[in-house]
């Protein structure tokens, strides 16, 4: 029997992996280069491997939040893709707030390459894909 915690962890890993694939394919779709792990490592002054660990840990923590909190909030919505999309957008908004706070605390954000609107759209797309994967992996109780 798979527990809710295991489902959340697996969903977080799979959702983050899917989002990461979108990040790496973004330049092939005409979007700017996006690498969350690199950005996290630059902001914290740590090696890139630490940024990757942080990126996946954040994905797991958010997926556990979906499993134990968010799923109850959206229980009236029957469509998992819609639930996941709403969750992905919520994670996107939360991430933007946290990154702004971190940027202010750490003395600024790393320089962005490319159009800000394309970066924003790519990030929203990545977070929605993450949210949908999480919603599809976690079983309803």
Residue whose C-alpha is closest to residue 52's, from 29, 24, 25: 24
pLDDT value of position 108:
64
pLDDT value of position 110:
62
Count, in order, helices (H) and strands (E) of the chain.
Answer: 6, 0
pLDDT value of position 91:
96
**CA–CA distance, 30 with 135 (Å, rounded to integer):** 28
pLDDT value of position 44:
81
pLDDT value of position 17:
97
Is residue 84 a contact partner of residue 128, using CB atoms and an 8 Å limit?
A: yes
pLDDT value of position 96:
87
Break the chain into its structural domains and give their ranges. Answer: 4-137
**CA–CA distance, 66 with 140 (Å, rounded to integer):** 11
Is the full-model pTM beyond 0.85? yes
pLDDT value of position 109:
64
Buried b / exposed e along 49-84 (16+ C-beta atoms within 10 A)? eebbebbbebbbebbbbbbeebbeebeeeeebeebb
pLDDT digit string, tens, across residues 65-95: 999 999 999 999 999 999 999 999 999 999 8
Stretches in the chain below the pLDDT threshold 50? none
């Amino acid at each position: 029997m798979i527990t809710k915690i295991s489902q959340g962890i697996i969903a977080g890993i799979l959702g983050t992996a899917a989002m990461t694939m979108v990040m790496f394919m973004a330049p092939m779709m005409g979007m700017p280069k996006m690498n969350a792990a690199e950005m996290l490592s630059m902001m914290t002054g740590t090696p890139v491997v630490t940024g990757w660990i942080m990126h996946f840990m954040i994905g797991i923590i958010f997926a556990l939040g979906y499993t134990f909190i968010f799923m109850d909030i959206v229980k009236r919505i029957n469509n998992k893709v819609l639930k996941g999309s709403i969750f992905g957008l919520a994670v996107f908004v939360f991430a933007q707030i946290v990154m702004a706070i971190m940027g202010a605390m750490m003395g600024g954000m790393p320089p962005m390459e490319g159009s800000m609107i394309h970066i924003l759209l790519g990030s929203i797309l990545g977070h929605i894909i993450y949210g949908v994967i999480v919603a599809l992996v976690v079983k309803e109780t």
